[in-house]
Structure 1
Amino acid sequence: MEAKLMHAVQYKSYGGGPSGLKHVGVPIPTPKKNEVLLKLEAASLNPVDWKIQKGQLRPLFPGKFPQIPATDVAGEIVEVGQGAKKFKVGDKVVVLLSHFSGGGLAEFASSNERFMVARPAEVSAAEGAGLPVAGITAHQAITQSAGIKLDGTGKQKNILITAASGGVGHYAVQLAKLGNTHVTATCGARNVELVKSLGADEVLDYKTPDGAALKSPSGRKYDAVINCATGIAWLTFEPNLSAKGKVIDIAPNASSFTTFLLKKLTFSKKSLVPLLMIPKAESLDYLVNLVKEGKLKTVIDSKHPISKAEDAWAKSIDGHATGKIIVEP
């Protein structure tokens, strides 16, 4: 019997940007052992998606060509493979698919249950799909790297969050404010009021002299910086750090690792910490429940039908999205 086809977006080689994405009909996947089949309701894009296409993470990613990109999805389970026990047909879920195999820009996707959590009725598909990579990255940066307790206990810390209106940044501001923190944030002028509404105590337009210098308006030194921006030199951060302040770099590059090693070798009390997100289902579940309780929100930059996935891709590459870019089948 001929397999039923679904609409998907894929690329066949490195490079090409938005024009490298092709709309194709491919067979609906069959769930393997311990997998379920999802009818997708929303996917969100992350910079890592187009960085993989660009070849910045070769030879690790993608696992193969052609590649259906995107990993952060929400959907409904329509089939359960052998051995899959956590969920049943009809369950609504939020899922982090593998970066190795992708699969998010399609009508259906098969996935292991490992990084899959229930999505309550109070959380929309788009809100849920925004969470996996950006939300878990923000959660790990705040709780593990910066050591902030989200129950509000612990000594007050002064935190700086750069690019605070972006995908990771807007979650980081909200999570930091669940702890005992004073949050300074940077963003573009058009997003200052939004970032204040997310809870930031003081917000700097990054294009002003003080914003470019990362200076706290109240003169505070930062115990931790969640750096969601690119291109800021260590020399800009250093004078703004407290005695044992650290910069947590969520998109580390060669220069970050060099600074990290240099600070270690010179026994500096100020440090740079490259953050490599480790996916954890319990972190994702915690975040979904915060959204359900109204303590965390996904700011949605824009929604695009899968037929216009190239527009969403171009917007992500442009790097000025406010919150999350969503693609809907």
Structure 2
Amino acid sequence: MFIESTNGKEKYYQINNAVHNFLYLLQHVEVPLPTPSKDEVLIKLEAASLNPFDWKVQKGMLWPLLPCKFPYIPGTDIAGEVIEVGKSVRKFKPGDKVVALVSPFSGGGLAEFAVAKESITASRPSEASASESAGLPVAGLTAHQAITKTIGIKLDGSGERKNVLITAASGGVGHYAIQLAKLGNTHVTATCGARNIELVKSLGADEVIDYKTPDGAALKSPSGKKYDAVIHCAVGFPWSTFEPNLTLNGKVVDITPSSASMLTFALKKLTFSKKQLVPLFLLPKREDLQYLIDLVKEGKLKTVLDSKYPLTKAEDAWAKSIDGHATGKIIIEF
């Protein structure tokens, strides 16, 4: 597979529908360059990052919502250089360095070239590398939305002090959540594997629990604190584990809501419980993405890079993401 674009075509990875409706094969092929619509920019990619969402699409876990049609190019998080703009685009011009979120409904991020809406594309300063920036769109915006919108933490440090628990804190969303939460007036307890304890502490966590220990399994704070909020980035914890660890008005923000968590959400609402489970569905905004990029420029936020792969080794990156033990973000470079 060649990385260079030739004769107006590009190499990219796509998901094809196999004989069985629920078997989606990941292949790399050559296709024409995409054309931006009036409100889109065409970006030559320098880096992209993977999210669990991507392989969940491949495995048919989001069917029938996604894929919308075949072939489907996975990937949403991209960073690169604008090479063409639609006629209605005003904020960007060819040559601009940007980071963007590709619509999951159209797909296209795991390619040499991709189109993105101007409304979810942000300027990338020289201080923010393509690889570091590419980790931000889904994971960074999810952490930002959970902390600022759902929990209500003010990142200028004002506001009432809160005790926050972040599960799977060394992962993609978790490692951003620690850093953002510490910009606010918070005490952060975090869970992770033993090998990542020092890393999580270095990101700002006040207390770190090995999730394999009894206290980790019970989500108990070493200092005995109750949590005003939990940013739940892990899977497999029932509501009964969270409830005794919450303050009277404690809130659990589930970033990967399941049918069980949706049922708990509904039951808590119906019974007017003060303790709530809130499923989070990302509502990306360009101003929030620009805010995160600006934090990177100022040295207040960083992307922990688990590993980097060339596009020719995208299958290896894909397998690493499915394995579920990445520390920070998995990056594909072009």
| Corresponding residue for residue 11 of structure 2 | 7
1:74 correspondence with 2:82:
no
- Which amino acid is 2:117 matched to? N
Equivalent residue in structure 2 for 1:138, among 143, 146, 171? 143
SS in 2 for 1:269: coil
What TM-score comes out, normalization by structure 2 length?
0.95
| Corresponding residue for residue 200 of structure 2 | 195
| Corresponding residue for residue 303 of structure 2 | 298
Equivalent residue in structure 1 for 2:215, among 205, 210, 218? 210
| Corresponding residue for residue 127 of structure 1 | 132
The total of aligned residue pairs comes to 326
| Corresponding residue for residue 327 of structure 2 | 322
What TM-score comes out, normalization by structure 1 length?
0.97
- The question of whether the paired residues in 1 share the 8 Å contact of 2:38 and 2:85 is answered with no
- The question of whether the paired residues in 1 share the 8 Å contact of 2:26 and 2:58 is answered with no
| Corresponding residue for residue 275 of structure 1 | 280
- Report the aligned-residue RMSD: 1.3
User: 1:71-220 alignment to 2 at 5 Å?
Assistant: 71-220=76-225
- Which amino acid is 2:69 matched to? K
Partner Cα distance (2:66, 2:126) in 1? 34
Structure 2 gaps, min length 5: 1-5
- How big is the shift at 1:62? 1.9
- How big is the shift at 1:35? 2.0
Partner Cα distance (1:81, 1:235) in 2? 51
Displacement over 3 Å in runs of 4+: 14-17
SS in 1 for 2:16: coil
User: 1:7-46 alignment to 2 at 5 Å?
Assistant: 7-13=11-17, 20-46=25-51
| Corresponding residue for residue 237 of structure 2 | 232
Higher deviation after alignment, 102-111 or 218-227: 102-111
- How big is the shift at 1:222? 0.2
- How big is the shift at 1:15? 5.4
- The question of whether the paired residues in 2 share the 8 Å contact of 1:3 and 1:28 is answered with no
Percent sequence identity over matched residues? 71
Equivalent residue in structure 2 for 1:310, among 309, 315, 319? 315
Measured against aligned partners, the alpha-carbon deviations of 1:69-100 in whole angstroms (never above 9, x if no partner) come to 10100010112232222101100000001000
- How big is the shift at 1:129? 0.5
- How big is the shift at 1:28? 1.1
Partner Cα distance (1:293, 1:125) in 2? 16
